[in-house]
Structure 1
Amino acid sequence: MASYPNVNAANKYARDVVAGKIAACKYVRRACQLHLDDLVKSKKRNFRWTFDRDTAEQVAVFIQLLPHAKGKWAALRELIKLEPWQLFIFCSIFGWVDKKTRRRRYREVYIEVPRKNGKSVLAAGVGLYMLVMDGEFGAEVYCGATTERQAWEVFKPARQMVRRTPELVEAFGIQVAAKNLSVIGDESKFEPLIGDPGDGQSPSCAIVDEFHEHTSAALYETMLTGMGARDQPMMFAITTAGYNIAGPCYLQRAQVIDKLEGTVPNDELFGIIYTIDEDDDWKDPAVLRKANPNYGVSVGAEYLLKRQADATRYPSRQNAFKTKHLNIWVSAKEAWLNMADWEACGDPTLTLDQFLGQRCWIGIDLASKSDICAVSLVFLDKVELVPGSGKWVNRWTIFCKSFLPEGAIERGGPNKAAYEAWANAGLLEVCDGEEMDFDLVRDMVGEFAGMFDVQEVAYDKWRATQLAHQLQKDGAEVVEMGGGVASMNLPMRELEAALLSGRVRHCSDPVLAWQAGNVVVRPFKGCITPMKADEGKTDMRKIDGIVAALMAMNRAMVSEFEPEGLLASLTEDDLLAM
């Protein structure tokens, strides 16, 4: 009977993380939970993927036959011993395969881990395995970076591992050159790549180390598009956190979070992020172990405690400590909503038919003719949060219908797979052609007018004037709104409070959840307005459904709340903006 000690250790790590026996942030817990869930799903005939324990075990064994290339273990000529978290990563990315084709599941891998946690072992190990063990004839493995120094951070350890393992050289006929590893038999190669690579390569594996240093996605995208001729290529990005939220690394990180949180499905992306949670105190020594999976192994407790004490004592050192040792993107604008609170307020059994005849307010955000536009419905009622208490509070119920032109799906870039999945599931209303047909929005509002007691329809004055005139002719009570603090501060503050106290309901629409997670705030003298996390940069993080809901909430608050209470809650800037 085959033995799988490394696979068993990897799966035990996942179980221990989920059970809380190993300190880990929510993103690591989600990565482990997804793996365990898929192990259960893989037993069902209609699940596409299966976990190949033989391949996963083979990868782990291969890596642990390599010698250390850095530090005290290299001086002692010791072989690599993978820690459970590293086994989990290796076994996950190589063990999951398609049931029919047996081709590897994960084509893109994103690993975010703080400094001194053995990144070179992961990256160099992946590169060498893909060079000689992946079964790809004429394999091309590249370690890409923006500078020569960074490119060598992966290639140099890999080259040293090969030089110190003559059995590996002999077994596969590896030729070790100054800037290249090659396999003479099939002309496979492993080499560093610096800057924009052009379009000549056909990589079977591309390793991007310290992805946060890249100011553009040119290298990543060129490598990714060059993989078209390969059967099971791998794009492998490994990095610490950084400062540039406009860069490609932060966007990739956001896609990983979307996948981990279940808002955007992506079966071929593996991601794991070692950091701390939002409510953790970065000054607490207990969080060091959570963010640093190699705590006490390659990164010493004493070293981290000293760095933490220095950062606490000297504010000038805080950003560097948080970024490099806790994986906190210190320059990233914080997400506005806590998505755990948002998820907790979800009720998949809610349907619009349950609200027939009830009063509602509608908000419309049309964005542009070639992008997502949204129609949000908001219902407001009174409930007793604690039955029998006699204390009644306002409760909000939010629905959203999102529209997208067919051409925008094809141009969706990183969002394309999600758009297609949502459209197929009936969660996106798709219209033919390249541009949005606003008559569909008009017809839907008219349909809602026949179903509910629509009080007002709020619209964005910058884009929906023509539609507003048409709706007015249809008999709707339309209200023009802007996006400043006068319109947005009050409903944003109310939605924040309502989520915390459980006074919100929604139908767990993944499209709306994705947009909720994309909202960051633009502060101004104590007031806030919503903006996209990638405002003016990639423009792929849509928020239209939430903006439409906030417009509707604004009108409901103005109509239903006591005028005295409303005015008392306004700031001086709110009043001036009116």
Structure 2
Amino acid sequence: MVSKFKDQVIQYAKDVVAGKVKAGGNVRECKRFLDDLKRDDIELRTRDPDLVIMLIQKLIVHKQGETLEGQPLMNKPLVLQPFQMFIVYNLVGWYWKGSNIRRTNEAFIYIPRKNGKTLFVAGLAFALGILERKSGARIYISAAALKQAMEAFDDILYSVRYYGIDQEEGTVIHDNNMEHSIELNFYDADGRTSGSLRIDAMAANPDAQDSFNCNIAICDEIHAFKKAAQYNRFKEAMKAYTNKLMIGITTAGDNINSFGYQRLQYAEKVLDGIAKDDAFFCFVSHADADDKVNVDFLNPEQHEKANPSYGVTIRPSDMMNDAMQAQNDPQQRKDYISRSLNVYTNAMRAWFDIEEFRASDKKYNWTLEELAKLPIKWYGGADLSRLYDLTAAALFGHYKGVDIIITHAFFPVVMAVRKADEDNIPLFGWADDGWLTMCNTPTVNAADVVEWFKSMRRQGFRIEQIGQDRKFAREFFTLMKSNGFNVVDQPQYSYVKSEGFRYIEKSAKDGNLYYLHSDAYEYCVANVHAIEKTDDLVHFEKIGKTTRIDLFDASVFGCVRYLDNLDRAKAAAQWWG
């Protein structure tokens, strides 16, 4: 059978790579697709993707909307765009050569709002269910809120009723306060069941989904998920199937500590070739941004790069009008960049632009071993928890115009699982990467923190002085003294910490800050909320109850010690000439 759509998909990928179709992050996935066509361990089969595309275009109709020319779309069939066909081909077209096992079992689709995402999700769910009917397809459409999940479900239900499928034998529909489901049964010539599919819409509630079983799950707007378990419960529910498919779909948000952002970061690593994951498909659409995440949001080319439906469902004039408003009204800018150009922005209350820190950090690449050998005087800081929360230690040094921050965190292992899940903190990832020590005690043991400073000293770090508020950790203070460290009682007053806060802020903006690419430190920096007081004093705190800033706080302690000793050294030089 000759493919109806394969040539269109390949041409789309070629046009994106050649720059004929303006695309941002998608260039890498299209190049990956073209390279995969040359591989001899996988093969692209056309039957399944062609069937899915035809089913979507024949069975899904618009229930509302207008074309760019103002013509009503209600009851008109959904016509897939080339980028949507490309997604379908990657989801169900690739097979491991010589087998019936599909290559892709997980996907991350990242496109801005109003690009036809919801109706496409609806058609995809329905068509995939029909494709997998002989396996007794079970599909879940989920989102952080039931209302969002119902958007796609209602699109399917509207189409089912429009074509009269709801009146056919074997169709069962429940749409009430207790349940939202569509079930279709298929029969052979003898009247026996030859296949079935069931689609359920629900909110992502991990506490109620442990016993679920499915082979296809679509999680929509995962940037709004509060915890990874909301996604992982569905992923775990399909372990009994070989050709399973877990799809996460989202737009950008304003919380870089969210689950959705972490999935985006993983997708970026896969597309950049840093992480190898053959079973993971990524479609990442966003505008281009420089190292400091400055986006040329007035440039129509960036509008097109971010929006694959530009000129189809996205009106170019509307994009430019909104861009002009974002230029003239700064309070609109953040939403425009995240919602329309699909570039993640930090939480509105966050003080720092985390991308400024990242841009500065990327300029340098010293290892711990190299830093230990450099002629640097190091100044430490510690922020100890009272019981079983995150504890932080830091060293601050300066070398040839570069400010260097080394941080390490501590957390009691008995509380780690609970807090990692409740507060969405990647504690175990930090531990794997070497940024955190799991303490084998119910509460943080001061001796573990002291041991870290001792280990840094043994490696060759010349630790001159350490700042710590003694009233919160007398045991730590005493142990440090007994181990030969010069510890200074440093109260947590705003007028004391403001200088260190401002110094680190300026260092990051000037591109002179290096923190060894620590994800844990970035997490804490992104959660800092600050209030300016008189005389440029700054009082800073965390942006929410479940966030943490301890590593940043410890680095401020160390920076204050550095600045204080720098002033003393200058005064001594002036005195002695």
1:345 aligns with 2:363: yes
1:183 aligns with 2:184: yes
Q: Distance in 2 between matches of 1:98 and 1:522?
A: 53
Alpha-carbon offset, residue 559 of structure 1: 1.1
**Could you tell me which amino acid in structure 1 is paired with residue 215 of structure 2?**
S
Match of 1:521 among 529, 535, 542: 529
Q: Distance in 2 between matches of 1:498 and 1:236?
A: 41
Q: Distance in 2 between matches of 1:435 and 1:41?
A: 51
Pick closer, same or farther for the CA change 1:453–1:238 going to 2, 3 Å.
closer
Alpha-carbon offset, residue 102 of structure 1: 4.7
1:504 aligns with 2:505: no
1:70-85 maps to which residues of 2 (within 5 A)?
70=62, 71=65, 77-78=76-77, 80-84=79-83
Q: Distance in 2 between matches of 1:564 and 1:177?
A: 79
1:534-553 maps to which residues of 2 (within 5 A)?
535-537=544-546, 539=547, 542-553=548-559
**Could you tell me which amino acid in structure 1 is paired with residue 504 of structure 2?**
L
Match of 2:260 among 242, 253, 261: 253
Match of 1:8 among 7, 10, 33: 10
Pick closer, same or farther for the CA change 1:183–1:226 going to 2, 3 Å.
farther
User: What do residues 369-417 of structure 1 show as CA deviations (whole Å, max 9, x unaligned)?
Assistant: 54443332222233xxxxxxxxxxx322232334444445544339999
SS at the partner of 2:141?
strand
**Could you tell me which amino acid in structure 2 is paired with residue 548 of structure 1?**
A
Match of 1:379 among 397, 415, 420: 397
Alpha-carbon offset, residue 420 of structure 1: 4.4
Q: Distance in 1 between matches of 2:201 and 2:353?
A: 40
- What is the aligned residue count? 528
Match of 1:279 among 291, 294, 297: 294
Q: CA contact under 8 A between 2:109 and 2:249: conserved in structure 1?
A: yes
Q: Distance in 2 between matches of 1:369 and 1:262?
A: 36
Match of 1:443 in 2: 451
Match of 2:190 in 1: none
User: What do residues 90-124 of structure 1 show as CA deviations (whole Å, max 9, x unaligned)?
Assistant: 45555688999956665474635222x11124311
**Could you tell me which amino acid in structure 2 is paired with residue 183 of structure 1?**
L
**Could you tell me which amino acid in structure 2 is paired with residue 444 of structure 1?**
W
Q: C-alpha root-mean-square deviation of aligned residues, in Å?
A: 5.0
1:472 aligns with 2:464: no
Pick closer, same or farther for the CA change 1:358–1:201 going to 2, 3 Å.
closer
Q: Distance in 1 between matches of 2:85 and 2:484?
A: 64
Q: CA contact under 8 A between 1:345 and 1:506: conserved in structure 2?
A: no
Match of 2:56 among 59, 63, 66: 66
Q: CA contact under 8 A between 1:282 and 1:322: conserved in structure 2?
A: yes
Pick closer, same or farther for the CA change 1:346–1:522 going to 2, 3 Å.
same
Pick closer, same or farther for the CA change 1:355–1:289 going to 2, 3 Å.
same
* TM-score between both structures, scaled by the size of structure 2: 0.71
Q: CA contact under 8 A between 1:266 and 1:418: conserved in structure 2?
A: no
SS at the partner of 2:199?
strand
Pick closer, same or farther for the CA change 1:457–1:23 going to 2, 3 Å.
same
Match of 2:152 in 1: 154
1:300 aligns with 2:306: no
Pick closer, same or farther for the CA change 1:224–1:376 going to 2, 3 Å.
same
Alpha-carbon offset, residue 341 of structure 1: 1.1
Q: CA contact under 8 A between 1:283 and 1:308: conserved in structure 2?
A: yes
Q: Distance in 1 between matches of 2:327 and 2:374?
A: 56
Q: Distance in 2 between matches of 1:517 and 1:90?
A: 39
1:22 aligns with 2:22: yes
1:148-547 maps to which residues of 2 (within 5 A)?
150-161=148-159, 175=171, 177=173, 179=175, 180-184=181-185, 185=193, 186-193=195-202, 198-199=208-209, 201-209=212-220, 220=230, 224=234, 227=237, 230-231=240-241, 234=245, 236-239=247-250, 251-260=258-267, 272=284, 274=286, 277=289, 278-280=293-295, 282=297, 287-308=302-323, 325-326=340-341, 332-334=348-350, 335-338=352-355, 339-347=357-365, 349=367, 351=369, 354-355=372-373, 358-367=376-385, 370-382=388-400, 394-411=401-418, 412-413=420-421, 419-420=427-428, 423-424=431-432, 426-432=434-440, 434-450=442-458, 451-461=460-470, 463-481=472-490, 485-512=494-521, 514-515=522-523, 518-525=526-533, 526-528=536-538, 531-532=541-542, 535-537=544-546, 539=547, 542-547=548-553
Alpha-carbon offset, residue 488 of structure 1: 3.7
Q: Distance in 1 between matches of 2:385 and 2:29?
A: 34
Q: Distance in 1 between matches of 2:500 and 2:54?
A: 56
Alpha-carbon offset, residue 266 of structure 1: 11
Q: CA contact under 8 A between 1:256 and 1:271: conserved in structure 2?
A: no
User: What do residues 303-333 of structure 1 show as CA deviations (whole Å, max 9, x unaligned)?
Assistant: 4345556677889987876675445769633
Structure 1 unpaired stretches of 5+: 383-393, 566-578
Alpha-carbon offset, residue 466 of structure 1: 1.7
SS at the partner of 1:380?
strand
Match of 2:560 among 545, 554, 557: 554
**Could you tell me which amino acid in structure 1 is paired with residue 314 of structure 2?**
V
Q: CA contact under 8 A between 2:222 and 2:260: conserved in structure 1?
A: no
User: What do residues 249-282 of structure 1 show as CA deviations (whole Å, max 9, x unaligned)?
Assistant: 9723332344356599896695746467442355
SS at the partner of 2:563?
helix
Structure 2 unpaired stretches of 5+: 68-72, 176-180, 186-192, 572-577
**Could you tell me which amino acid in structure 2 is paired with residue 347 of structure 1?**
N
SS at the partner of 2:45?
helix
